[in-house]
């Protein structure tokens, strides 16, 4: 039973389970189709799944940078941004500050610090970082805070900077 729970938790769609009490007995369990997801990390313990509807592509980003009503948030540390650059029109809110800024920062303080209005829960937020891992964590935090139109640019800075050359 433990094996079946693990299979469901990690969203495998077709498995064979060998009953060791009866050697050679194979049972096929075909589990219902689950949402397709993208795995970001090569390390098993750090795999993060992202709903494809919440993913923004490079081509999408080329359009979004010219849409001031959409909020592009770079969740890298300020020294990373300083050393590499940033996507045009983005603001830098490090991952460790995302929850506090979105949940608690006043409209006035947000405007003073980021030179733009604080997003409402219905505004589209797009997170990016260096490679996509931290932006996915930020996406999760924003969704839990009620920012239902949040997305992530999985290619993040690595993809953006490689295509700008």
- C-beta of residue 95 within 8 angstroms of C-beta of residue 138: yes
The one catalytic residue among 98, 129, 142, 154: 129
Annotated catalytic, 148?
no
Q: CB-based contacts of 37: which residues, under 8 Å, 6+ apart? A: 11, 49, 50, 51, 52
- C-beta of residue 155 within 8 angstroms of C-beta of residue 132: yes
* Nearest-angstrom CA–CA distance, 16 and 158: 38
Q: Give catalytic residues, as residue numbers.
A: 129
């Amino acid at each position: 039973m433990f094996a079946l729970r693990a299979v469901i938790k990690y969203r495998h769609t077709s498995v064979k389970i060998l009953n060791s009490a009866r050697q050679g007995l194979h049972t096929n369990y075909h589990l219902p189709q689950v949402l397709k997801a993208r795995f970001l990390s090569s390390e098993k313990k750090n795999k993060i799944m992202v709903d494809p509807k919440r993913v923004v592509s490079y081509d999408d980003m080329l359009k979004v940078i010219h849409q001031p009503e959409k909020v592009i948030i770079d969740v890298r540390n300020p020294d990373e941004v300083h050393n590499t650059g940033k996507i045009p029109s983005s603001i830098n809110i490090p991952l460790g500050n995302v929850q506090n800024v979105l949940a608690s920062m006043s409209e006035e303080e947000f405007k003073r610090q980021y030179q733009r209005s604080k997003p409402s829960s219905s505004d589209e937020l797009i997170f990016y970082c260096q490679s996509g891992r931290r932006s996915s964590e930020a996406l999760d935090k924003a969704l839990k805070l009620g920012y239902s139109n949040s997305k992530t640019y999985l290619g993040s800075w690595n993809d953006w900077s490689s295509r700008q050359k």
